[in-house]
Amino acid sequence: MVLVNAGVHIRSLNTNGFLSCRRHELQNDQQLDALHSKIRTLRGMRVTTDIYDDVERQNSTIPTGNTFTTFAGSLAQSSRRAAHAFGSTGSLKQYRLLVLIVGAVVGLWILWYFIGWVWLSSGANV
């Protein structure tokens, strides 16, 4: 038995099969209509206007000017302040600072080694 419904051929052996196909066709039509309404909403001016307004609001909070130039200036100023604070205007003061740092590291290493040696030797006697 062959049925024709709106130009679509539906083959069915019984009426239950036809009703099942028709029900699926109606569900597809409903989902297609829902999709069309969503597309109309997205194409509407309201959504694009809302997006545009949101972008403009966010752009107004971003400071104008070149951020990289501002960062480079503050970094240069910080390095000048650090150089002045450490007194690195002459090469002799830089040399003293370097010797002090290396001496501190070596001293801490020797202290750590000595404490470890004393601790291990006292633990072995107990």
Both tokens assigned to 56: 């403009």
- Looking at residue 64, the DSSP 8-state letter turns out to be P
Q: How confident is the model at residue 34 (pLDDT cuts 50, 70, 90)?
A: very high
Average pLDDT on 89-110 reads 84
Does position 22 have pLDDT exceeding 80, yes or no? yes
Side chain identity at residue 7, one-letter code: G
For residue 96, the tally of other CB atoms under 10 A from its CB is 13
pLDDT tens-digit series, residues 35-66 = 998 888 777 666 667 778 888 888 777 766 67
Q: How confident is the model at residue 108 (pLDDT cuts 50, 70, 90)?
A: very high
Average pLDDT on 91-100 reads 77
Does position 9 have pLDDT exceeding 70, yes or no? no
Distance CA 64, CA 38 (A): 37
pTM higher than 0.75: no
Both tokens assigned to 74: 């503050």
User: For all residues of the chain together, what is the average pLDDT?
Assistant: 76
